[in-house]
Amino acid sequence: MSEDVLTYSVLSGSALGDAEWDDVSELFSSSYGFYSQQDPSGRAGRRIRLSPNYYRRAYATDDYQVAFCSDKDVLVAEAVFRVCNTSRGRAAFVVQLVVDEQYRRRGIASTLLHAIWGFSDFCCWGIVTSNAFTVESLEGATFRRVCPLSMKNNEEFVRAEILSGIGFLASAKWTVSAAESVIDSGFYTDRSSPSEATMTLSARLGVLPEGAEWLAIVFREQPLDDFKAYRSLILSSARFVTEAYARMPQREQGWAAKTESEVSAILGWLPELPRTARIADFGAGSGRHVEALRAAGFTDLTAIDFASCAPGVLKEDVRSWRSPEPYDLILCLYDVIGSFPDDADNKAVLASVAANLRPGGYAVLSVSNYGYVAGKGAQKVDLDDPVEATRRIFALPPSRSMETTGEFFNPNYILLDDKHHIACRKEQFSSGTGLPGEYLLCDRRFTSDEIRSWAESCGLAVTESRFVRAGFDAEFDVATGKEILLITKKR
C-alpha cells in the first residue's frame, strides 16, 4: 500500500467497459457496509451489494462520471458523480463514494471529493450520504456549512434541476426544513454504533431514520464561513504547484516553439562556453532547453524538475538538490524562482543554483516581472486581511491558461498583493483521464532591483539584466517585458 503506486483517473460512465463496472461493483459490495437489523427484505447483517448490471443501467451514460483511485491495477476507491448544467450554472453532485476498508484514513476520499467539488465557479455542490466525515469534506472543499434552511429555500430548484436527473433520488421522499435535510434513499445501512461526528451532525441535519441518508448541498450564494481555513489554503498554495505544473502540456503551447531562439540567445551571451561544459537546467519542465543544447553539440547535460515525468528529466526538488560535481552553467528559467508564495522557498532555489555552480560558473535566470502585471490593471488584494482576501480570491474567475496557452499574465484572472508582490490565480484542468481540478496558485513576481539583490546575496554577480518575453530575441521595458532575465557569474 505504498503512496507511490496510487493513481487517480476519471472517465465518463459511457466510456466504462464491463470489466470496469465489474470492479466498481466488487469494490462497493465488499466495502460499503452491512444491512441494518430493520432491513425490510430480511438481509440484516449481510453486506450491501450492487450488481454490475445495476451500475450499467444507472450510470453508464454521459450524464455520469466515475473518479477512480487504484493501487497498481487494483481499484481501491471510486466516486460516482454528475456535473450538470442548470439555470444557475454548473452543479456537482456525488451519488456514491466508496473506499476499500484497508485504504481508509489516507486522504483518498478527500482527494476524490475535492477534485469533484473544488471548482469555484459551480453554483452548488452536494452529496447524499450517511457518513458525517463526507459532509465535513464537502464543507471543507467549499468553505461553506451545510445549512438546512438554505436547502429549504432552494427546494424547488434542487428537486427540478438536481434530483430529477438522479434515478434513485428523483422520486424519493425528502424531508427538508430549517432543522433537517433527510432523504429516503432506500439504503438500510447498519448504523448501530454511531460516531461522535455522526451524533454532532445529527443535531444539525436531523437524526437519520432507517433507510435514509442526509442530503447535503451548499450553494454559491451562501457566505463563506471559515476565513482561517481559506487563508491557510492561500498561504499553503505551494502544495498545488507540483500537480498543476505536471498537468501542464508544455510542449503543446506556443511559447515552447521558441526554445531554439532562447538557447541561441543564451549561447550568444556566453560565446566562450565550450561544448564540454557541464550544464544543468533547474526546473526543466519537459527538458526542451536541454534537448536544444544537445542539438547544439553539448553533451554533459542534466535536466531537473520536481513536477516532471518527462523522459530524461530527474524528478528532484531543486530547492535542496546537490550535484556531486559543480556545473559550469545552470539555467533556471520561467518562474522557477517565484513559483512559491513564501520567499524562503524561492530563495532556496536561488541558493541551490549558486551552491551547484563552480566559482566563475554562470547562471542564467528569469523571473516574472512584477511591473508588467501591476501596469495591466490587475485587481489588488491584501493577503494580510484574511476576511477580505478570502472573499476576493473565492470570487476571482478561474482560468484555464495552464491547460491551454500557458499565458499567466492576463490581469482578469489575477489578484495582486502590492505589499508582498504575490499574484494569486486559480487554474482549472479538465482534459484527459486525470482527475478534474482547480488549483489556487500564489506566485512571486519581482522588480529588477529585487531579483538583482537576491542574486548578489547568493554570491552571483549580475553581468547583464534585461526585460524579455519568450524567445529572448528582443528587449522590452519594465511595462512591456513579461520576464526579467539575468546573466550572472559566481564569484
Bridge-based pairing state of the strands 65-71 and 6-12: antiparallel
Q: How far apart are the first and last CA of the chain?
A: 48
| Nearest-10 Cα torsion for 249, 253, 255, 259 | 60
Question: If residue 452 lies in a helix (H) or strand (E), which one and from where to where?
Answer: helix 448-457
pLDDT at 61: 95
248 pLDDT exceeds 80? Answer: no
pLDDT at 3: 47
Higher per-residue pLDDT: 369 or 391 = 369
Q: How does residue 231 score in pLDDT terms, banded at 50, 70 and 90? A: low
Longest dimension (CA), the chain: 85
DSSP at 313? E
Find which of 45-54, 183-192, 244-253, 420-429 is predicted with most confidence, using mean pLDDT.
45-54
pLDDT at 2: 44
Q: Among candidates 450, 452, 373, which has minimal Cα distance to 417?
A: 373
* Helix (H), strand (E), coil (C) string for 159-219: HHHHHHHCHHHHCCCEEECCCCEEECCCCCECCCCCCHHHHHHHHHHCCCCCCCEEEEEEE
Q: Tens of pLDDT along 340-386?
A: 888 999 999 999 999 999 999 999 999 999 999 999 989 999 988 88
CB under 8 Å to 229, separation ≥6 — which residues? 140, 143
Predicted TM-score (pTM) of the model is: 0.77
Q: Tens of pLDDT along 10-42?
A: 999 999 999 999 999 999 999 998 999 998 999
Give CA–CA dist 413/425, Å, rounded: 6
Q: Among candidates 245, 333, 232, which has minimal Cα distance to 282?
A: 333
Can you say how many angstroms the Cα of residue 196 is from the centroid of all Cα atoms in its chain?
A: 31
Which SS3 state, helix, strand or coil, does residue 473 take?
coil
Q: DSSP H helical segments within 18-62, as ranges? A: 18-31, 52-59
Give CA–CA dist 158/173, Å, rounded: 13
Domains of the chain and any CATH numbers: 3-225 (3.40.630.30), 226-491 (3.40.50.150)
Q: Tens of pLDDT along 136-167?
A: 889 888 888 999 999 999 999 999 999 999 99
- How many other C-beta atoms lie within 10 A of the C-beta of residue 117? 25
Q: How does residue 187 score in pLDDT terms, banded at 50, 70 and 90? A: confident
93 pLDDT exceeds 90? Answer: yes
Contact 16, 60 (CB under 8 A): yes
DSSP string, 89-124: EEEEEEEEEEE-GGG-SSSHHHHHHHHHH--TT-SE
pLDDT at 240: 61
Percentages (nearest 5) of helix, strand, coil residues in the chain: 35, 25, 35
Q: DSSP H helical segments within 225-282, as ranges? A: 227-235, 238-247, 259-269
Give CA–CA dist 279/289, Å, rounded: 11
Mean pLDDT, range 256-266, rounded to an integer: 92
CB under 8 Å to 42, separation ≥6 — which residues? none
